[in-house]
């Protein structure tokens, strides 16, 4: 119970009382708080004068601000342009050098190859990721359009060393620049149901050559004598059980019956677009992407003809080389 609701310890209250003894004092807020408040109020005024902030009565116009001392009126575009200019200045020497380099040379140059790995990421996401999956992991065909055909991967996985056309950096470049479209004829009118069954079972087991039909029916013409595929034709390796389409017996029968890009309405579709047409990508961008894809890890290393003498380095010169100061 409080006797005096209007003051306590000499500090007057606002007169508001709750629960009999809970009252509002009229104490000043602490000094640091008042200073902070004043400083923010001043800052607001300064900010409003410096930056575009105050809308004017006239339609759509606003006070543009006097800008920062020395750098004139501030605009978001100006800031963006300055930032971009800084970035471009960093990139320019690399971009200039890239123009004269073949993909293999870029790979061999540690600095350039690192630059390309970094700048290729966005290019890949923008142009390739939709079909090949982010970072080349592949993406499944979903949605009604594909479900009815039970398609497998929308586009091949680019991370592994299983290549339809070849994993040399030049071949990857060629794939991007020219596009690819593997073709396998439809066999539904050429083979009997029993033959398709035998072939599908042999292929599913990863041993296509186990049946003489594989050679007799001309599969070897495109998939090779050993069934391992031929890069020149983009025909799949049928011995590794890595499937582009459906790897089940039924799925394989489907591929054999209707082919790939064969023109049959039921055919499997596999079209890698051409990125040169209509200037979709510049030569430099395609080079970057070839190196970027190669560096996913599945690339086929170029055959380097190492000079024989390099093997016979004598101990003395090896030690000398190791202790020599690093070149700048």
Segment near ligand HEC (CB under 6 A), from 35-43, 97-105, 106-114, 212-220? 212-220
Do the Cβ atoms of 183 and 192 come closer than 8 Å?
no
Our CB check for ligand HEC shows the closer of 205 and 221 to be 221
Task: Please report how close the Cβ of residue 47 comes to ligand HEC at its closest, in angstroms.
Answer: 46
Do the Cβ atoms of 155 and 131 come closer than 8 Å?
yes
Cα separation, 83 vs 173, in Å, equals: 32
Q: Does 236 bind ligand HEC (CB under 6 A)?
A: yes
Q: Does 296 bind ligand HEC (CB under 6 A)?
A: no
Q: Does 289 bind ligand HEC (CB under 6 A)?
A: yes
Segment near ligand HEC (CB under 6 A), from 18-26, 80-88, 95-103, 129-137? 129-137
Going by the DSSP 8-state scheme, the letter that residue 320 receives in this structure is H
Our CB check for ligand HEC shows the closer of 106 and 203 to be 203
Cβ neighbours for 121, distance < 8 A, ≥ 6 positions apart: 292
Strands 139-140 and 62-63, how do they pair? Answer: unpaired
Cβ neighbours for 176, distance < 8 A, ≥ 6 positions apart: 275, 281, 286, 289, 290, 293
Segment near ligand HEC (CB under 6 A), from 76-84, 99-107, 141-149, 248-256? 248-256
Our CB check for ligand HEC shows the closer of 115 and 245 to be 245
Strands 7-8 and 11-18, how do they pair? Answer: antiparallel
Cβ neighbours for 220, distance < 8 A, ≥ 6 positions apart: 214, 227
Q: Does 98 bind ligand HEC (CB under 6 A)?
A: no
Please give the size of the binding site for ligand HEC, defined by CB under 6 A: 48
Among 12, 15, 130, 263, binds ligand HEC (CB under 6 A): 130
Segment near ligand HEC (CB under 6 A), from 17-25, 98-106, 111-119, 173-181? 173-181
Do the Cβ atoms of 294 and 169 come closer than 8 Å?
yes
Task: Please report how close the Cβ of residue 90 comes to ligand HEC at its closest, in angstroms.
Answer: 24
Q: Does 243 bind ligand HEC (CB under 6 A)?
A: yes
Residue 22, strand partner residues: 18
Do the Cβ atoms of 137 and 159 come closer than 8 Å?
yes
Q: How far is CA 178 from CA 72, 131, 262, in A?
A: 50, 17, 20
Our CB check for ligand HEC shows the closer of 23 and 151 to be 151
Among 193, 221, 313, 318, binds ligand HEC (CB under 6 A): 221
| Three-state secondary structure call for residue 110 | helix
Cα separation, 28 vs 33, in Å, equals: 10
Our CB check for ligand HEC shows the closer of 23 and 169 to be 169
Q: Does 116 bind ligand HEC (CB under 6 A)?
A: no
Among 103, 116, 163, 186, binds ligand HEC (CB under 6 A): 163
Q: What is the footprint of ligand HEC within residues 178-207 (CB under 6 A)?
A: 180-185, 187, 199, 203
Q: Which x/- pattern, by CB under 6 A, does the window 58-87 give for ligand HEC?
A: ------------------------------
Closest CA to 186 of 105, 129, 291, 263: 263
Q: How far is CA 46 from CA 40, 51, 52, 79, 106, in A?
A: 10, 9, 11, 20, 52
Q: What are the residues binding ligand HEC (CB under 6 A)?
A: 127-128, 130-132, 155-156, 158, 163-165, 172, 175-176, 180-185, 187, 199, 203, 217-219, 221-223, 233-236, 238, 243-245, 252, 255-256, 260, 270-273, 275, 289, 293
């Amino acid at each position: 119970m409080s006797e005096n609701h209007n003051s306590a310890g000499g500090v007057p209250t606002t007169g508001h009382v709750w629960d009999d003894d809970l009252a509002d004092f009229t104490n000043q807020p602490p000094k640091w708080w008042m200073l902070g408040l004043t400083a923010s109020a001043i800052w607001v005024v300064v900010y409003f004068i410096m930056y575009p902030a105050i809308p004017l009565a006239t339609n759509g116009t606003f006070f543009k601000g006097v800008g920062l001392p020395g750098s004139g009126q501030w605009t978001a575009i100006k800031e963006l342009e300055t930032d971009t200019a800084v970035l471009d200045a960093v990139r320019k020497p690399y971009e200039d050098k890239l123009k004269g380099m073949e993909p293999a040379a870029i790979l061999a140059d540690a600095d350039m190859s690192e630059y390309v790995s970094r700048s290729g990421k966005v290019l890949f996401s923008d142009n390739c990721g939709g079909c090949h999956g982010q970072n080349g992991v592949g993406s499944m065909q979903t949605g009604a359009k594909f479900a009815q055909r039970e398609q497998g991967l929308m586009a091949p996985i680019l991370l592994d060393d299983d290549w339809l056309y070849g994993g040399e950096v030049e071949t990857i470049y060629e794939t991007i620049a020219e596009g690819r479209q593997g073709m396998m004829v439809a066999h539904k009118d050429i083979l009997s149901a029993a033959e398709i069954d035998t072939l599908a079972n042999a292929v599913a087991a990863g041993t296509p050559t186990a049946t003489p039909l594989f050679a007799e029916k001309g599969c070897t013409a495109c998939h090779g004598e050993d069934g391992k595929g031929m890069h020149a034709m983009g025909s799949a390796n049928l011995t590794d059980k890595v499937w582009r389409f459906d790897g089940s017996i039924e799925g394989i029968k489907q591929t054999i019956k209707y082919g790939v890009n064969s023109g049959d309405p039921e055919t499997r579709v596999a079209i890698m677009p051409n990125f040169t047409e209509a200037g979709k990508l510049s030569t430099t961008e395609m080079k970057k992407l070839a190196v970027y894809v190669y560096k996913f890890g599945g690339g086929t290393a170029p055959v380097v003809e190492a000079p024989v003498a390099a093997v016979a380095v004598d101990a003395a010169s090896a030690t000398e080389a190791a202790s020599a100061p690093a070149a700048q």
